[in-house]
């Protein structure tokens, strides 16, 4: 666990302030009935155990960069103003293992020449991305950062694994962050990040990295698929998001009663309600779109913010608590007073 999170007072450098937001879902929809037709599962099981009814999936030939470019274009439209100096892409499903996907996304958006790189923190990628963007801005490396979180998770899910097929899905969310003041609406508050690599095998893709390649043992056909030990992961998700949330709220000088909206990684509806209950945040203050998007990995939190703002459930002035958890293990939490931005 990271130690004490940096406190807002005395922070050096400008703050990262949200000035635009965008999102994108691929058009193809997969229903619980579609999954039940090919897997030993049911609509009733999926709804009651995960809260998911439908999710979106890329069509053949569509890659993460395609989703990322759409969401990024939306965020740039929403922000208006000068072009960003850096693009940070959080993803677990890059177009290729090498090179990073971010430079290609930048080129597609007419941003060739700017700093562009990927970060890998699985479902916590957006929170790690917020901290990274904040660091680029605070250090003066960039004045404006386009942060995109995009995952084509269905491309790494074993279609025969009912434990993961029913949850994971595809999508992208994006934000433009600009240099500003720590006390203005949209300024990202103190961010808490943590990891526990002793549990890295709870969520993994075993093949394709240097560990498997240097072993001299050929990967089995199933080793390239994503694997998750769901029940154990569930327990850690609740503990870590709850603890990180408390720390972020305290570092912002808030209490959990001050939180107007909880924007938690949409991992599983039961996880979300347990985290909210433990934090004492009532149901009407929880943002949720898991029913129709599923678990979209790194994209989950920015997609949730964009959808909730578009639906009028997230309003300027709301004090928002952001939290996420996923493979690594890795987790994070932060706060923001929602700014007056129109999702693009
Ligand atoms: O994104 C960040 C990281 N991910 C998460 O935070 C996800 C965390 N985990 C979960 O969301 C849940 O653990 C799952 C949704 C993956 C599974 O739900 P669960 O309530 O933990 O189920 P379980 O794995 O304990 O399995 C309970 C039963 C088992 O049957 P038996 O042994 O009790 O007879 C499973 O075989 O449910 C069975 N099962 C299913 N049945 C129908 C597991 N998956 C399915 C399925 N349909 N899709």
285-294 tens-digit pLDDT:
999 999 999 9
Q: How far is the CA of 329 from the centre of ligand 1 (A)?
A: 19
The arithmetic mean of pLDDT across residues 323-337, rounded, is 98
Angle, CA of 330, 334 and 337, to the nearest 5°: 155
Tokens encoding 139: 């250090």
Q: How confident is the model at residue 130 (pLDDT cuts 50, 70, 90)?
A: very high
Q: How confident is the model at residue 7 (pLDDT cuts 50, 70, 90)?
A: very low
Find, among 101, 123, 93, the residue nearest to 203 by Cα. Answer: 123
- For residue 225, pLDDT beyond 60: yes
- The pLDDT of residue 307 is 97
**What is the SS3 assignment for 68?**
helix
**What is the SS3 assignment for 57?**
strand
Tokens encoding 30: 């997969």
Q: How far apart are CA 199 and CA 65, in angstroms?
A: 29
The arithmetic mean of pLDDT across residues 211-237, rounded, is 94
- The pLDDT of residue 12 is 76
Q: Is the CB of 124 under 6 A from ligand 1?
A: no
The arithmetic mean of pLDDT across residues 121-150, rounded, is 98
Dihedral sign from CA coordinates of 152, 154, 158, 162: positive
- The pLDDT of residue 8 is 42
Instruction: Give the model confidence (pLDDT) of 61-113 as tens digits.
Output: 999 999 999 999 999 999 998 999 999 999 999 999 999 999 999 999 999 99
The arithmetic mean of pLDDT across residues 214-242, rounded, is 95
337: β partners = 319
Instruction: Give the model confidence (pLDDT) of 182-196 as tens digits.
Output: 999 999 999 999 999
Catalytic-residue membership of 289: no
- For residue 9, pLDDT beyond 50: no
- For residue 11, pLDDT beyond 90: no
- The pLDDT of residue 223 is 94
Find, among 186, 182, 160, 196, the residue nearest to 332 by Cα. Answer: 196
Q: Whose CA is nearest to atom 42 of ligand 1?
A: 41
Q: How far is the CA of 274 from the centre of ligand 1 (A)?
A: 16
Catalytic-residue membership of 265: yes
Q: How far apart are CA 167 and CA 269, in angstroms?
A: 11
Tokens encoding 159: 């279609």
- For residue 6, pLDDT beyond 80: no
Please give the C-alpha separations between residue 60 and each of 98, 152, 177, 226, in angstroms, as whole numbers: 21, 11, 33, 19
The percent of residues above 90 in pLDDT, for the chain, comes to: 96
Q: Is the CB of 233 under 6 A from ligand 1?
A: yes
Q: How far apart are CA 232 and CA 240, in angstroms?
A: 12
- For residue 322, pLDDT beyond 70: yes
Mean pLDDT of the chain: 95
User: Torsions phi, psi of 66, nearest 5?
Assistant: -65, -45
- The pLDDT of residue 81 is 85
Q: Is the CB of 166 under 6 A from ligand 1?
A: yes
Instruction: Give the model confidence (pLDDT) of 251-265 as tens digits.
Output: 999 999 999 999 999
The arithmetic mean of pLDDT across residues 156-177, rounded, is 97
Q: Whose CA is nearest to atom 48 of ligand 1?
A: 162
Are β-strands 319-326 and 261-264 bridged in parallel, bridged antiparallel, or unpaired? parallel
Beta-carbon neighbour count of residue 48 at 10 Å? Answer: 11
Residue 158's domain comprises 1-344
**Active-site residue, selected from the candidate residues 32, 268, 289, 295:** 295
Pocket mutation for ligand 1, best pick of 49, 199, 241, 264 (most atoms within 8 Å of C-beta): 49
Pocket mutation for ligand 1, best pick of 39, 91, 163, 229 (most atoms within 8 Å of C-beta): 163
Q: How far is the CA of 271 from the centre of ligand 1 (A)?
A: 12
Count: domains in the chain: 1
Counting from 1 in the atom list of ligand 1, the atom nearest the Cα of 297 is: 1
Counting from 1 in the atom list of ligand 1, the atom nearest the Cα of 325 is: 2
Tokens encoding 41: 């599962």
The percent of residues above 70 in pLDDT, for the chain, comes to: 97
Q: How far is the CA of 242 from the centre of ligand 1 (A)?
A: 21
- The pLDDT of residue 261 is 98
**What is the SS3 assignment for 162?**
helix
Counting from 1 in the atom list of ligand 1, the atom nearest the Cα of 268 is: 11
**What is the SS3 assignment for 332?**
strand
Are β-strands 115-119 and 86-90 bridged in parallel, bridged antiparallel, or unpaired? parallel
- The pLDDT of residue 1 is 41
Angle, CA of 44, 50 and 52, to the nearest 5°: 75
Q: How far apart are CA 332 and CA 335, in angstroms?
A: 11
Are β-strands 261-264 and 86-90 bridged in parallel, bridged antiparallel, or unpaired? unpaired
Tokens encoding 303: 């997609």
Helices (H) and strands (E) in the chain, counts: 11, 13
Q: Is the CB of 31 under 6 A from ligand 1?
A: no
For the domain that residue 260 is a member of, what is the CATH number? 3.40.47.10
**What is the SS3 assignment for 276?**
helix
Q: How confident is the model at residue 221 (pLDDT cuts 50, 70, 90)?
A: confident
Find, among 187, 122, 142, the residue nearest to 334 by Cα. Answer: 187
């Amino acid at each position: 666990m990271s130690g004490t999170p940096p406190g807002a007072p005395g922070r050096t450098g400008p703050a990262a302030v949200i000035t635009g937001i965008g999102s994108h879902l691929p058009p193809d929809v997969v229903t619980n009935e579609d999954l039940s037709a090919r897997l030993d599962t049911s609509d009733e099981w999926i709804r009651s155990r995960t809260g998911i009814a439908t999710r979106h999936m890329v069509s053949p030939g569509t890659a993460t960069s395609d989703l990322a470019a759409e969401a990024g274009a939306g965020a740039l439209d929403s922000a208006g103003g000068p072009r960003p100096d850096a693009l940070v892409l959080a993803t677990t499903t890059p177009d290729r293992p090498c090179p990073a996907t971010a430079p290609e996304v930048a080129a597609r958006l007419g941003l060739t020449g700017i700093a562009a790189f990927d970060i890998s923190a699985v479902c916590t990628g957006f929170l790690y991305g917020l901290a990274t963007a904040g660091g680029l801005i605070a250090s003066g490396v960039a004045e404006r950062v386009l942060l995109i979180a995009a995952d084509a998770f269905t491309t790494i899910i074993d279609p025969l694994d009912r434990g993961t097929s029913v949850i994971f899905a595809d999508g992208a969310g994006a934000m433009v962050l600009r240099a500003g003041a720590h006390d203005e609406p949209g300024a990202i508050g103190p961010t808490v990040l943590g990891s526990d690599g002793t549990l890295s095998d709870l969520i993994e893709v075993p093949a394709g990295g240097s560990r498997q390649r240097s072993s001299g043992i050929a990967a089995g056909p199933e080793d390239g698929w994503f694997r998750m030990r769901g029940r154990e992961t569930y327990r850690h998700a609740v503990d870590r998001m709850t603890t990180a949330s408390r720390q972020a709220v305290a570092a912002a000088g808030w209490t959990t009663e001050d939180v107007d909206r909880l924007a938690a990684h949409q991992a599983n509806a039961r996880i979300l309600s347990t985290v909210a209950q433990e934090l004492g945040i009532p149901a009407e203050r929880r943002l949720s779109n898991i029913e129709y998007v599923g678990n979209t990995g790194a994209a989950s939190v920015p997609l949730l913010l964009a959808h909730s703002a578009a639906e009028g459930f997230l309003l300027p002035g709301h004090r928002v608590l952001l939290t996420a958890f996923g493979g690594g293990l890795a987790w994070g939490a932060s706060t923001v007073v929602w700014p007056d931005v129109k999702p693009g």
